[in-house]
Every structure is written in C-alpha cells, then in structure tokens.
Amino acid sequence: MFSFLCHNRVSCFTHCCRELELALTPYDVLRLRLATGLSSTELHDRYIIEELDPEDVFPRYYLTMVDDGKASCVFVNARGCQIYRHRPGACRTYPLGRGTRREQDRVSEQFILLRETHCQGFQEKAVHTVESFMKSQELEPFNRFNDRLTAITQHPQIKEGKQLTDAQRTLYKLALYDLDSFRSQLNDKHIASPLDIPEGVFEDDERLLEFGLDFIEKQFFDR
Ligand code: SF4
Ligand code: SF4
C-alpha cells in the first residue's frame, strides 16, 4: 500500500517530465503514433533517438528531450503532458518501477517504489495497492506487450550469448518499432515472412505488433 496522487495543483507539477531518460517500448511507439498522427517513420525522424551500446544485443529507443536548459520532454508544456491519453508506460507507472524477468516460458514481475524527495504526490491521501494503481493508469496493454518483448530480449539463446547480425537489428526495429514500414514492406514483399500473415492484420496496429513479435521470435529463435 502507498499514498500517492499526481494532479495539476502540486507544486512539483511536470518536474518529473524533465531531465529523464525515457526508454520507449514498441507499444509506446504505437501509442505515440496515435497521439501525434505521425507515421512511425516520421516519429523516428522527429522524436526518437536510437542507441546501441557495445555491450547491448538489442538497440534501445529513447524519447527526445528539448534543449531548453531543463532537458524537458518534447511533449510537456505549462499545462502538462500534451499526449496524456497516449503517454508512455513508464510515465504511467511512475512512482512505481516495474522490472520483468523471463523464467523458462513465463515472465515474472517485480515492483519498486521510487520515493523521490521532489515528488509531492506522496503527501496526498489517496491510497493504492500496486494492482489498483496499475488499473487506474490503464497499464494492461502496455504490460502485456512489454512482457512479450521481455520474452524476446531475455530469450534463453540471448542469455547463452547469441548476438544479432546488423540485418537482424534492422529487422528488430522494423517489425517492432516502425510498424508503418513493416506493413508496407510485407505488403510489397520486400521482406519474406516466416509465418503466414493472418487476415486483417494490416488494418489493426495492435494485431500487427503482435504479429511483429511472433515474426521476430520465429526469425531469431525459430521457436
Ligand atoms: S510523455 Fe508526457 S508524461 Fe511522459 S515525460 Fe513526456 S510530458 Fe511527461
Ligand atoms: S513529481 Fe510526482 S507529484 Fe509532481 S508532477 Fe511528477 S509525479 Fe506528479
């Protein structure tokens, strides 16, 4: 149980939308596309930074911060988050942090409470459990898709040291983080699918992302 409420009358309003490294998941990018009306390719060009550290197997994607002296999120202004309905999972989860781990064929979760001194939300009276807080922040689809991603990034073959080729990294970005290009390349047969493409999958982004996750698992691990 923890006491917490964030609203636009707290003295720290939007402080947590600055000076942060906001890692994006595939489902976050899907929702950012809905929030902005941009294609996934345009989103990458304007708002997303790709990083690949030498020790990383998979590339990471981060939301751009603005060079305004406060390293603010591109989507924050004095009124708050401009994409609130579609804000990323990490923004919804705060002040909790959710860690996941693949164990054989299931993904387990662990939570931490980030009790940061600048956050006035802890002075509020609203009481939550982890479950009630997750529900209030509509995190179910974020966590469901993120768990599928964990099953890939923590696949036993990855833990045993499997590395990706440059072509596989390109495919990873395409199938999970750039759905518009994935759709058109499948449609034009620029890439071959190792799986039958289910009917109607091109008309529904969530189904296309589910297919992208199946596609990557099949391509990388031949499960
Ligand atoms: S996406 Fe919205 S909630 Fe998340 S850091 Fe940016 S402005 Fe804040
Ligand atoms: S610091 Fe805490 S209370 Fe303040 S805006 Fe962020 S989440 Fe809300």
- Work out the widest C-alpha separation in the chain, in whole angstroms: 56
Residues of 164-198 as b/e, b for ≥16 C-beta within 10 angstroms? Answer: beeeebebbbbbbbbbbbbbebbeeeebeeeeeee
Tell which of 94, 109, 138 closes a domain: 138
Give a yes or no: residue 151 inside a domain: no
Q: How confident is the model over 133-155, as pLDDT tens digits? A: 999 999 999 999 999 999 999 99
CA dist 190 and 188 (Å) reads 5
Return the SS3 of 108. Answer: strand
Nearest atom within ligand 1 for CA of residue 80:
7
Tell which of 138, 169, 190 closes a domain: 138
CA of 113 to the centre of ligand 2 (A): 14
**Do 165 and 112 reside in the same domain of the chain?**
no
**Do 96 and 6 reside in the same domain of the chain?**
yes
End-to-end CA distance of the chain: 40
**Do 119 and 180 reside in the same domain of the chain?**
no
Give a yes or no: residue 90 inside a domain: yes
Range of the domain at 193: 156-221
**Do 20 and 105 reside in the same domain of the chain?**
yes
- 193 CB under 6 A from ligand 2? no
Nearest atom within ligand 2 for CA of residue 94:
7
Residue ID of nearest Cα to ligand 2 atom 5: 13
Percent share of the chain, pLDDT over 90: 97
Containing 67, the helix (H) or strand (E) segment is: none
Give a yes or no: residue 146 inside a domain: no
Give a yes or no: residue 129 inside a domain: yes
- How many domains is the chain partitioned into structurally? 2
Give a yes or no: residue 55 inside a domain: yes
**Do 88 and 177 reside in the same domain of the chain?**
no
**Do 128 and 164 reside in the same domain of the chain?**
no
Q: Which pLDDT belongs to residue 104?
A: 86
Give a yes or no: residue 143 inside a domain: no
Nearest atom within ligand 2 for CA of residue 17:
6
Give a yes or no: residue 10 inside a domain: yes
Q: Which candidate, 131, 217, 208, 118, places its Cα nearest to that of 172?
A: 217
* Ligand nearest to C-alpha 10: 2
Average pLDDT of every residue of the chain: 96
Q: How confident is the model over 191-221, as pLDDT tens digits? A: 999 999 999 999 999 999 999 999 999 999 9
**Do 104 and 45 reside in the same domain of the chain?**
yes
**Do 199 and 133 reside in the same domain of the chain?**
no
Q: How confident is the model over 33-68, as pLDDT tens digits? A: 999 999 999 999 999 999 999 899 999 999 999 999
**Do 126 and 17 reside in the same domain of the chain?**
yes
Give a yes or no: residue 93 inside a domain: yes
